[in-house]
Amino acid sequence: MKTPSLLLCACLFVPLTPRAEENPQALWKQSKDPLLEVIDLEATRGSLPPSKWIGRDQKDLDRDINKLLEEVLEVMEVSGLTEARAAYRSLGNRIDQRRTQVRELREATLSADEEKSPLEFYKKTRAEYIEEIEALETDIDNLKIQQDEQVDRMMTAYQNMGLKLSEEQVRFYLSSISGSDMMDLSAVFDNIRLLNNQLEELVIQSPDDPEAARRYYGIHVTLIHTMLYAHERVLDRVDHLYLDRIAELEKQNDELMKETKDLIRFSDAEHQGLLQSSLNTQEVTADALVLYRQHLQNVRDQVYEGQKALDQRFKVAMNAYQTINIAATLAEEMQSAVKDLSALRNMHLPALVPLNSDALQQKFSEITRELEGGE
């Protein structure tokens, strides 16, 4: 069975909690109550009007259900995927901190003395600053090696999931703002698949218990609903957070380019070189923003296709649940649903953006940090 092409790795220096496959009981324990509550709420839908000025209606019901689905997603999104992503980014933060320290120490060497007297023990000589810099640079190299090992583990994990991703694809996922959302979808899918397998076993063990079949199938339907809700949430973030923020950055950069061009036209010759350098950087930023917007639009289209397929599956499953004629064919239906959902995994392969220069790649990374800061 193929899985979503989303990031999976183990952390080297952060102890991971057991994978869901190793501890399905904990997953069930944490998600059972909100799942069952969704079923109870859904059962009241037929008695509520679609909309009402005063009193409870189906819109109120949907809001309550969405809150419960958020609780379920909090459980489903936790896995080796999310923990590994946090560890990888933690390594990146440590690298950034070391680089800042190196920059500050290099500046300090400019005013440092070659020697110091015994009474100036609190001061550092130029040689001592250089020694600290070398130690930090060695630490940075070691942290980069740890990140490389993480990437290798991700590629191996993808292969174990039935997908072959290149190192470039994995690294692009880690650098893109949408990578986190897609990884969360992967974790949700795998955990839902796990719970659905557990439910299937329970159904097989209770072939003559219609009430048990109804209960378990209700949970199955709610799990599909959870997956659908996860897709809707990603679409909302792309449309109303990431793309809106890209538009803001494009506007700011366009205004800055216009100002720079005006300055070039009217400034003295001595300033022309610096202004042209600024304009070149702004043009690279503009190219990176265009590519980033195209990437996010591509992600949105892929997730939307997955959402449409899930929506159809959810309606079919809900219809079967409401009919209640499910006991005899329940296990087969659940297997079919998992098979259908598995097909969605192929829709989430990362589409690489052609970052054909170091400057463009650097700007792409800077835009990612801007987007993360705007959440």
Asked, for residue 171, whether it belongs to a domain, the answer is no
The pLDDT of residue 137: 95
**Do 118 and 230 belong to one domain?**
no
What is d(CA 178, CA 176) in angstroms, rounded to the nearest whole number? 5
Asked, for residue 340, whether it belongs to a domain, the answer is yes
The pLDDT of residue 4: 30
As a whole number, mean pLDDT of residues 152-167 equals: 69
| pLDDT tens digits, 43-85 | 788 788 888 777 788 888 888 988 888 888 888 876 666 677 7
Helical ranges in 176-268 per DSSP H: 177-205, 210-237, 243-266
Q: Rounded to two decimals, what is the model's pTM? A: 0.71
Residue 231 CA, distance from chain mean position: 12
- Selection from 168, 278, 184, 166 nearest residue 234 by Cα: 184
What is the count of structural domains for the chain?
2
Asked, for residue 120, whether it belongs to a domain, the answer is yes
Asked, for residue 94, whether it belongs to a domain, the answer is yes
**Do 33 and 136 belong to one domain?**
no
Least confident of 36-40, 179-183, 207-211, 365-369: 207-211
Asked, for residue 98, whether it belongs to a domain, the answer is yes
Task: Read off the tokens for 204.
Answer: 């097989």
**Do 52 and 117 belong to one domain?**
no
The pLDDT of residue 5: 28
Task: Read off the tokens for 177.
Answer: 């703002």
Length of the chain: 375
Q: Which residues contact 161 (CB under 8 A, 6 or more apart)?
A: 2, 3, 8
**Do 184 and 158 belong to one domain?**
no
The pLDDT of residue 239: 92
**Do 266 and 290 belong to one domain?**
yes
| pLDDT tens digits, 281-337 | 999 999 999 989 998 999 899 899 888 888 888 888 888 777 765 554 555 666 666
Q: How far is CA 305 from CA 63, 64, 295, 308, 344, in A?
A: 24, 26, 16, 5, 8
What is the residue range of 318's domain? 25-77+176-373
pLDDT bin (cut points 50, 70, 90) of residue 105 is very high
pLDDT bin (cut points 50, 70, 90) of residue 10 is very low
The pLDDT of residue 222: 87
**Do 311 and 337 belong to one domain?**
yes
Torsion region of 51: left, alpha or beta (phi above 0 gives left; psi -120 to 50 gives alpha): beta
Residue 328 CB coordination number (10 Å): 10
Task: Read off the tokens for 290.
Answer: 């265009």
**Do 103 and 225 belong to one domain?**
no
Asked, for residue 331, whether it belongs to a domain, the answer is yes
In the listed set 117, 135, 166, which residue is the last one of a domain according to the structure? 166
What is d(CA 172, CA 20) in angstroms, rounded to the nearest whole number? 26
Asked, for residue 247, whether it belongs to a domain, the answer is yes
pLDDT bin (cut points 50, 70, 90) of residue 256 is very high
What is d(CA 175, CA 7) in angstroms, rounded to the nearest whole number? 12
Under 8 Å between Cβ of 245 and 371: yes
In the listed set 166, 193, 209, which residue is the last one of a domain according to the structure? 166
**Do 59 and 193 belong to one domain?**
yes
The pLDDT of residue 3: 31
Q: How far is CA 329 from CA 21, 313, 343, in A?
A: 26, 16, 22
Task: Read off the tokens for 137.
Answer: 């640079």
**Do 71 and 135 belong to one domain?**
no
> 149 versus 196: which is more confidently predicted?
149
**Do 204 and 329 belong to one domain?**
yes
What is d(CA 37, CA 41) in angstroms, rounded to the nearest whole number? 6
Asked, for residue 256, whether it belongs to a domain, the answer is yes
What is d(CA 337, CA 342) in angstroms, rounded to the nearest whole number? 8
What is d(CA 49, CA 36) in angstroms, rounded to the nearest whole number? 23
Return the DSSP state at 352: P
Under 8 Å between Cβ of 158 and 165: yes
In the listed set 143, 166, 189, which residue is the last one of a domain according to the structure? 166
What is d(CA 307, CA 314) in angstroms, rounded to the nearest whole number? 10
Return the DSSP state at 19: P
- What percent of the chain has pLDDT above 70? 78
**Do 194 and 332 belong to one domain?**
yes
**Do 101 and 142 belong to one domain?**
yes
